Amino acid sequence: MQSMLINMKNKAIYPGTFDPVTNGHVDIISRAARIFPELTVAVASNKMKRPYLALETRIRLLEEAVGHIPGVKVVGFDNLLIDFVIEQNASIILRGLRAVSDFEYEFQLAGMNRKLSKKVETLFLTPSENLMFISSTLVREIAALNGDVSQFVPPCVVTELNKRRDETDVKLV
């Protein structure tokens, strides 16, 4: 059996819906960029989740939040993650784990991706302790109830959520 050595020179893909991007996401991205010379933040269109923010908006917000980090690029994708990873000539899927409750789902995804391609490995990073409780869903819920989300998301996201709340009566969750 041939083993795959994880080489930190490999290109990594950090996929997610990022609806919206949070400080936890930014933390994972900035730390991963110090490990991998090339990190692609892959924003899933994920129509099954019916995202609140359009794909183009999520990409723009991520570019504003992490565009200053060397080696990081942000792109959208709408196909199977493993196919996207292979198309990008990457060998690592990077996932964030906030809590034990995330692990079971992430473990299933990693196993499925391993079945789909033996050439791609999944690695996990946890966010900094002060950010572990933040989720995009909670941010949307707080914003929908006119709460202050500024400590949980980059300033560009605060501006976007406030603009959307002012423009529409549509719930953010």
Asked if residue 173 belongs to a domain, the reply is no
Asked if residue 5 belongs to a domain, the reply is no
d(CA 119, CA 121): 7
For all residues of the chain together, what is the average pLDDT? 89
Asked if residue 103 belongs to a domain, the reply is yes
Q: Annotated catalytic sites, by residue?
A: 25, 49, 98, 136
Asked if residue 18 belongs to a domain, the reply is yes
Of 134, 117, 158, which Cα lies nearest the Cα of 13? 117
Which residues line the annotated binding site?
17-18, 25, 49, 81, 95-98, 106, 131-137
SS3 70: coil
**Tokens 């292979």 identify what position?**
86
To the nearest 10 degrees (0 to 180), the angle between helices 23-35 and 55-66 is 60
Q: How many domains does the chain have?
A: 1
Asked if residue 145 belongs to a domain, the reply is yes
Domain coverage including residue 50: 12-167
Distances (CA, A) of 42 to 15, 115, 130: 4, 21, 24
Question: Domain containing 147 — which CATH number?
Answer: 3.40.50.620
Question: pLDDT per position in the chain (173 positions), as tens?
Answer: 344 445 556 899 999 999 999 999 999 999 999 999 999 999 999 777 789 999 999 999 999 999 999 999 999 999 999 999 999 999 999 999 887 777 888 888 898 999 999 999 999 999 999 999 999 999 999 998 889 999 999 999 999 998 887 776 544 44
Asked if residue 78 belongs to a domain, the reply is yes
Asked if residue 31 belongs to a domain, the reply is yes
